[in-house]
Amino acid sequence: MVSWKGIYFILTLFWGSFFGSIFMLSPFLPLMFVNPSWYRWINNRLVATWLTLPVALLETMFGVKVIITGDAFVPGERSVIIMNHRTRMDWMFLWNCLMRYSYLRLEKICLKASLKGVPGFGWAMQAAAYIFIHRKWKDDKSHFEDMIDYFCDIHEPLQLLIFPEGTDLTENSKSRSNAFAEKNGLQKYEYVLHPRTTGFTFVVDRLREGKNLDAVHDITVAYPHNIPQSEKHLLQGDFPREIHFHVHRYPIDTLPTSKEDLQLWCHKRWEEKEERLRSFYQGEKNFYFTGQSVIPPCKSELRVLVVKFTVLDPVQPCNVPTHIFVQSC
């Protein structure tokens, strides 16, 4: 059943993205043709301002608790982020992590192409230079090339979020993954799907060639209590009580250089995720068993709290000066 919390959350984000796209982002469109570097510099910071809104709503109004363990981010570094795709909303929940441990303005996301045309949300994602894919390599390769070369050419650092599994974990997707595993003599997974490595290896190689990559962040996400699988659950007010992120940072010089070895490297990370998540869900439902404690954030909780309450101002989505509070997020 639809709840007032869900309606409030969706409508607030919709109107924020709708009017933000029109009044904050579109006035700078001409600059894209005059000076692409300045256009991206400004847009990234405006988008980062807006991204603090869902973070503030989730934590301040709906009580979502976020716990991050493992390796620390190096603020401002250029990376590829690979993460298991437990729900359709993992990419949005990751903002709660990046707001504290990195910079929201650096993150770009690979998302399915159908989201591109959604009014408000889709416009903002296009302005943010997210990469929209059809999940068919013959259709996506040239677009990946263009987008990655664009960031390399304008010397803009980025943290590109990729879901190698290609879709979220459901009974149907797990069944397809297990059929693939059986056909190819691979282990069947319970907590993750077998990754598709073509896009991952291409992105890493292309960014490495463009000297725009410092590390790969391997993030494992888990939900110890309720698991809101889709937008429908959020609309019903079913927000996650807790979200756990476990981070492994791999400097680029530690990664294999050949395509085949890089594919094997990615598969190895997913084998580890399966074991890590099994220990998580069958144990005490935290990642403390890894021996790595909660990461100290690069931004103080007081500062994060100030940002969250600032963006809850109902006129914030169109309030450009508010950005001075969150320009480093």
DSSP track, 1-63: ---HHHHHHHHHHHHHHHHHIIIIIGGGTTHHHH-HHHHHHHHHHHHHHHHHHHHHIIIIIT-
The residue with greater pLDDT, 91 or 304, is 91
Q: What is the pTM of this model?
A: 0.90
Confidence of residue 315 (pLDDT cuts 50, 70, 90): very low
pLDDT tens-digit map of 142-197: 999 999 999 999 988 899 999 999 999 999 999 999 999 999 999 999 999 999 99
CA pair distance 138, 162, nearest whole angstrom: 18
Number of H-type helices and E-type strands within the chain = 11, 7
| SS3 assignment, position 115 | helix
Whether the Cβ atoms of residue 127 and residue 47 lie closer than 8 Å to each other: yes
d(CA 194, CA 180): 8
Instruction: Report whether 118 contacts 171 (CB < 8 A).
Output: no
- Using the predicted structure, report yes or no on whether residue 300 has a pLDDT greater than 80: no
Query: For the chain, which residues make up each domain, given as ranges?
Result: 66-298
Mean pLDDT of the 295-309 span? 57
Q: Which range among 112-126, 127-141, 156-170 has the greatest average pLDDT?
A: 156-170
Model pLDDT, residue 216? 98
Distances (CA, A) of 238 to 27, 68, 80, 126, 285: 36, 21, 30, 28, 19
- Strand, helix or coil for residue 110: strand
The pLDDT, as a whole number, for residue 297 is 59
